[in-house]
Structure 1
């Protein structure tokens, strides 16, 4: 498996879909083989194996994603005491020619969003700053530092999962499904995405609740929002869960963390451009969607043009109503039921989004390991079909591959939520 990950990270470009798929599927099969065929594997062996795989990727420049140049660009601006929310990279180069360096010019050439304001929350900017400070104007060093921080976060996830599995009396074998999962390894360690840190903070929040440390739980949930905004949608679930609904400490801790995370956006009205970028992102981009694509085709048929600007707000409203309904209908009575509700909320939300990048699945997948639900595990395999688009010169998505991905997911959802008297294949 280490050889396969090494080959995938260093030598296979994302444009070579069939080779990517073949190696990825083999790695996923290897993970399942270890899970189902091994006896009670000691967690030490699982940990060392997964860590060595991650360390093998330490020097790789991401091939599946081109987000990292923006991470390093924002970090460099913060180090220079510039505000990454006030100017787009294009305008910054034009307005500050005296500060332009070959390093920044190179990052600009590699960047996928030079005409947009930064969409990354202030806590991300702090991480970018650390990478820029240590990189000393070297891209490879910046990537290495980002990767090292993410691997440390992954180690935290591993041990928190182990502690919580023990607390909930869940088989520790499930660690294999996360720690050796090719999507998790490639998208966090390989491609430098921060969903692993989101999962880490959500797990700390659950762990703190299990120890009746409500203020800490709320604080870490608030910090997870500071890394990625998506955990904000869990608010209704906390209101439906009696332990958090009645806890002033939980809400005070949450408020302090959120204010500390986002208060920086009040400087020079940075929040205006931050929200502008979020709005553009929600109303302009499309990738690997399901329900949205079906509605878009109806819009083409009825109106003759892409109705993304009309569909997106409607789907966002439906997502909000659905989250409120599920939170009210499936009131969690304990922590396991709360995490199960979080998984459902993530699933419903992602099914309605116009953009579903593969790494978006990771927080919900990690949480799903506390349940008997298999949809996100299946999706961590099926989502590889979305990379077919990069094999097309125009990045055109093929409906056949989208159908394969979402057919597999639909079957898993049916098995998880609509089929009665099912027995999980995964030990609990």
Structure 2
């Protein structure tokens, strides 16, 4: 098939996947009963939509990103809009949070303070004690009736939604009064518009980072995002775009402007303060500490100004009581929290709660993870986006409450970072809707959380595993290089025997040496030349090299003596790093460790020829090599030495 034909086919795949997903979403939205009362159908459509969209994006990736940029932007945005409009058609059923938004919006639109009273206090003040007959008759008033109170979660607690979100709630109420309709529909429509702006900003940030706009589909077309924003309605949608703007603004905007955006994101959703330390350190790394300080001061000022109109004496105390619900009372779909609680001896209904110990510990773990992600900054947008993934991931893992919509910030950061595995892992959070099925008890909930955890670890390991292994190999290569560097002379021609991925040779070449790699199979991940050999005979000339590095290779050889003979033929000097043992249990232990490490690199277990130090020295002497020096590099669990030998003339 021609390139044009293949591209056209990719476009058709995307169009088909989008069309089918929109139809499925609309079907679930309009069918009776609503999604939460038909969880099986809902989750089936979510899974099928995810599969279709993944198939379409993968098959049409070149078409989406290889043509005019406007085409990719238009397709991603159009797809995001169509999916959200379809989900917006559904009645509210997935979450009852939106009814609290409507309640607060009516209060703010009426010129009152939403933080002053709990819903129950307000209704009692306005309506007196509950009238069961009025409730049964369906009496409804705006943020004042007992019937409406029944729809709210936590009616005995003050609202925790910050002033920026309150302004949007009130706007929906005002628009509903002016134009008709219900404020809940208008509010979810506002969320959709805000979220589409976030999708646009994600694409703009991707372009600024010179990445394909197709990565924006990880957020824009994600079923979790679509349903939690348009179908359920959650305030995270108001803050995601502001968080993305921080990545885009880094290095382009004055620090005070960045501070304004940080403050606005917190006024939309307080949890988005998670990313503020990352941005602050990124600013510090880019320039001066003063820039980070200016951004922090401005952010605090914006946040303070937002709360100022609502200030009264008990505001902070009321907020603290409500926030404590999430740390000390509520828990939902939190595998790590439940496991830790169980290990601490807690048994529901039998023992005393352990939240006074567990909650501070998990909060400290979250703060430490965020601190590490912050200190990891180097001032680039790419690093900031990836650090946001880490920070949000830590927040979700250590949180005792994990609703699907909490992951919106994580999924937006994943789109910026190209972390497709995180996007796939996020799909598992939708399984938490099974907890609302009456037939699902605690054992089934535990099984669901196990499935979610295994799914997330598998998906993230699929992408991050090879990168982590490569990072570990490079770190280990640097340690090897530092050990052999003192024994290299200026101008030495170097053979790296048993080079593996070639990372040691790459460092040697970077020090100014001419390097060739040799290995039994080609796993070279560098630009250095490589020869493959049969594990015994090298296809190289006599004295072709001044020195050969043999780093932890001899114990893998079928005939180590033959390898030593061949290496001493092509190089006059040998620098050997080797694992050794002193007692029999040492040999068994290092055999187990070696096999385990090589499995991670995709290497099958093989017989290993470990020896004692004295054994290797005798082998070298028998080959006519004079041992110039040897020393221990480590005598812990991993006993290893460096031996330098030269061929006697």
Displacement of 1:234 after TM fit?
2.7
* Superimposed CA distance per residue, residues 198-231 of structure 1 (whole angstroms, 9 cap, x where no aligned partner): 1101112222224233221221111111111112
Give the match's secondary structure for 2:83. Answer: helix
**Cα distance in 1 for residues equivalent to 2:368 and 2:441:** 33
* Corresponding position of 1:341: 387
Q: Which moved more, 1:240-249 or 1:404-413?
A: 240-249
1:24 matched residue in structure 2: 46
Structure 1 match to 2:208: 167
Indicate yes or no: 2:305 matched with 1:260: yes
5 Å-filtered alignment, 1:239-278, equals: 239-241=280-282, 242-243=285-286, 245-247=289-291, 248-278=293-323
In 1, the alpha carbon distance for the partners of 2:436 and 2:178 equals 29
Match of 1:46 in 2: 76
Alignment of 1:14-413 (within 5 A): 14-38=36-60, 39-41=62-64, 42-43=71-72, 44-97=74-127, 102-104=141-143, 105=145, 106-136=147-177, 141-241=182-282, 242-243=285-286, 245-247=289-291, 248-300=293-345, 304-328=351-375, 330-392=376-438, 396=442, 398-413=445-460
* Contact 1:14/1:387 (8 A) holds in 2: yes
2: CA distance, partners of 1:238 / 1:176: 24
User: The residue matched to 2:154 in structure 1 has which SS?
Assistant: coil
Contact 1:389 1:398 in 2 (8 A): yes
**CA spacing shift, 1:67–1:140, aligned 2, 3 Å:** farther
Compared CA separation, residues 137 and 88, structure 1 to 2 (3 A): farther
Deviation at 1:120, TM superposition (A): 0.8
Q: Which has the higher contact order (CA 8 A, sep 6+)?
A: 1
In 1, Cα distance between the equivalents of 2:48 and 2:426? 13
Whole-angstrom CA distance in 2 between matches of 1:326 and 1:410 = 20
After alignment, is 194-203 or 129-138 more displaced? 129-138
SS at match of 2:36: coil
Provide the aligned C-alpha RMSD in A.
2.5
Q: Distance in 2 between matches of 1:138 and 1:84?
A: 24
In structure 2, stretches of 5+ residues that fail to align are 1-20, 65-70, 129-138, 472-649
SS at match of 1:398: helix
- Whole-angstrom CA distance in 2 between matches of 1:139 and 1:405: 42
Deviation (angstroms), 1:265: 4.7
Q: Is the 8 A contact 1:208 1:214 kept in 2?
A: no
- In the alignment of these two chains, the number of paired residues is 420
Deviation readout 1:27-61 (Å, 9 max, x if unpaired):
11111011101242332233223212322344432
Radius of gyration: which is bigger? Answer: 2
Which moved further from structure 2: 350-359 or 203-212? 203-212
* Structure 1 range deviating more: 159-168 or 330-339: 330-339
Query: Partner of 2:477 in structure 1?
Result: none
Q: Bigger shift: 40-49 or 295-304?
A: 295-304
Displacement of 1:169 after TM fit? 0.8
Change (3 A) 1:239 1:135: closer
Instruction: State the distance in 2 between where 1:172 and 1:217 align.
Output: 24
CA contact (8 A) 2:258 2:295 kept: yes
CA shift in 2, pair 1:417/1:306, >3 Å: farther
Q: CA deviation at 1:414?
A: 3.3
2:30 maps to 10
Q: Given the two structures, how large is their TM-score scaled by the length of structure 2?
A: 0.61
Distance 1:86 1:139 in 2: 28
* Structure having the larger proportion of residues in helix: 1
Contact 1:70 1:107 in 2 (8 A): no
Larger proportion of strand: 2
- Secondary structure of the residue aligned to 1:240 is helix
- Compared with structure 1, are the counterparts of its residues 137 and 271 closer, same or farther at alpha carbon in structure 2 (3 Å cutoff)? farther
Alignment partners' CA distance in 2, 1:158 and 1:60: 22
Question: Which has the higher mean CA deviation after the structures are superposed, 143-152 or 105-114?
Answer: 105-114
Q: Secondary structure at the match of 1:120?
A: coil
TM-aligned CA distance change 1:201 to 1:382, over 3 Å: same
Alpha-carbon distance between aligned partners in 1 of 2:200 and 2:333, rounded to the nearest angstrom: 32
| Aligned partners of 2:217 and 2:415 also within 8 Å | no
Cα distance change of structure 1 residues 394 and 119 upon mapping to structure 2, 3 Å threshold: farther
Of the structure 1 ranges 382-391 and 392-401, higher mean CA displacement relative to structure 2 is found in 392-401
Please give the per-residue CA displacement for 1:285-306, whole angstroms capped at 9, x wherever unaligned: 0111021110111234588344
User: Within 2, Cα distance between the matches of 1:36 and 1:367?
Assistant: 20
